[in-house]
Amino acid sequence: MKKRLMKSTDKVVSGVLGGVAEYFELDPTIVRLAYAVMTIFSGFPGFMLYIALMLAMPKKNKYVENV
């Protein structure tokens, strides 16, 4: 089965970074910290990337396994 980049049900804001962590099989805390550091040093592009992913990524159905 192909992996799909989807929003996570384990979310802090909208599930984007949790979904990225699940896709790459990483710890969500590490992904969130890396994003925070990237956004602090790059500023506006990091925020715009998050908004774009929030709009583009589909939601994961939490009731269906292996979606």
26 vs 6, 34, 43, 48, 51, CA distance in Å? 14, 12, 24, 22, 21
pTM: 0.76
The helix (run of H) or strand (run of E) holding residue 45 is helix 44-56
The two most distant CA atoms of the chain are separated, in Å, by: 38
Mean pLDDT is highest, among 6-15, 44-53, 54-63, for 44-53
pLDDT over 90, % of the chain: 25
Residue 7 DSSP symbol = B
pLDDT of residue 1: 60
pLDDT band, very low/low/confident/very high, at 9 (cuts 50, 70, 90): confident
pLDDT band, very low/low/confident/very high, at 64 (cuts 50, 70, 90): low
